[in-house]
Structure 1
């Protein structure tokens, strides 16, 4: 894959169209995806970026998909320690659609400050995040980072915010297949229907009458829902299905 070395046009429209074309037509691997985004962000003078996909709530997700130009040592450590579960940046991303700087508001309070101390060893000391949400609780996010001595970091973001948001959307829309996997086994239509009626307070017997099936079959669907969603009871299965937008 050959990437052109053109300069960015005045309003960025040609630049964004070029990035979209690469992502849409020439991406087959994670490395190619990362290469295109690395090129795009470097055009805007950002050398360190990460695209993170969370299929479920960060505090409960088994793992996160992380792609980008962050130092490989930090990425390996972050993944091996499951730091996505207590990363304050991802926690904030899960609850907002607005871009934010890492050192504002609730970011980095208490024990979570330790993550920033660890990332600083790899040159990740200040940052900016753009969340991109989907229906349910899954979301993607673009993270830009630099060392503290980079005085131009905030100026670059303020002057190119519209391009950064467009790039974040493109990065999410054209993310690789590995960042599209469901966090749990998908539910059948019947299983979703059962959870819907159960969430409305219907008993097994009542759900069976409404669905036109036996109470025994309803219980079979209930067991499948709990197994697939790794829930200890139907109530927890309903909660998880609601978060995923499946009910």
Structure 2
């Protein structure tokens, strides 16, 4: 009976995620999921590439403020084993497993520092999304005495189902308007520019004047907020303005 109640509750949260109209609504859904798992804290983060050297990071969380301030101020993201693990893996990870790994000397022990700030135990699920973006959804408990193994087991059943739905709603709410602003012809010109074609060659392929191709590429540059064709091609791919399968 308990499992049935839990599944019904999860389904209600999934409906709320699907019907979310804002990031505030998604934040509340994450609160609900955390309560269902009998945890205290959550963090949902997505890192999206905007250029080869710039990324956008969007974070929803209720982590202790002192920990977040310390984490950001000391740039612990560079040493965080959770981030490192999630970047190159797909399976969920219990923080105990990361803690067991040999720690490098003269490097911050992020897991240990998190424990001193109230995140005593937890687990994380890697997220790999469209256009090369990646992220993590983590849950943690504040009590030293609390065993999160049961919560981890429950999360492994439900979170893999919730993640794609959460991502779809997240991208729907935070959709980059640049993608829909590009016209079909502008996307075609950029796609052929990706193949190294000159404006003259693109004009022959598309059956239009060379000045028309130049016009479309210039419009794309304005919409993508770039300064040249090379940057336009790079940003169009990274942000999903054009699809490699286009």
Structure 1 distance, partners of 2:107, 2:184, is: 40
Paired residue for 1:209? 204
Q: Is the partner of 1:175 in helix, strand or coil?
A: helix
TM-score (norm 2): 0.71
Paired residue for 1:221? 216
> Which of 12, 17, 23 is the matching residue for 2:17?
23
> Which of 90, 98, 104 is the matching residue for 2:91?
98
1:211 Cα offset (Å): 2.0
Paired residue for 1:47? 40
Q: Is the partner of 1:157 in helix, strand or coil?
A: helix
Structure 2 distance, partners of 1:212, 1:76, is: 56
Residues 59/195 of structure 1: CA separation in 2 closer, same or farther (3 Å cut): closer
Structure 2 distance, partners of 1:190, 1:105, is: 54
**Does the CA-based 8 Å contact 2:94-2:152 persist in structure 1?**
no
Paired residue for 1:4? none
Q: Which blocks of at least 5 consecutive residues in structure 2 are unaligned?
A: none
> Which of 3, 13, 18 is the matching residue for 1:9?
3
1:78 Cα offset (Å): 5.7
CA deviation string 1:197-224 (max 9, x = no partner): 1222322210121123332332343344
1:125 Cα offset (Å): 5.5
Residues 163/152 of structure 1: CA separation in 2 closer, same or farther (3 Å cut): same
Residues 66/212 of structure 1: CA separation in 2 closer, same or farther (3 Å cut): same
Aligned residues: 238
Higher relative contact order (CA 8 A, sep 6+): 2
Residues 199/59 of structure 1: CA separation in 2 closer, same or farther (3 Å cut): closer
Residues 185/58 of structure 1: CA separation in 2 closer, same or farther (3 Å cut): closer
Between 113-122 and 217-226, the greater mean CA deviation after superposition: 113-122
**Does the CA-based 8 Å contact 2:79-2:108 persist in structure 1?**
no
Q: Is the partner of 1:46 in helix, strand or coil?
A: coil
Residues 200/105 of structure 1: CA separation in 2 closer, same or farther (3 Å cut): farther
Name whichever structure is richer in helix by fraction.
2
Residues 201/61 of structure 1: CA separation in 2 closer, same or farther (3 Å cut): closer
Residues 128/34 of structure 1: CA separation in 2 closer, same or farther (3 Å cut): same
- What are the residue-to-residue correspondences of 1:79-90 with 2, within 5 Å? 89-90=82-83
Q: CA RMSD in A?
A: 4.1
Q: Which blocks of at least 5 consecutive residues in structure 1 are unaligned?
A: 1-6
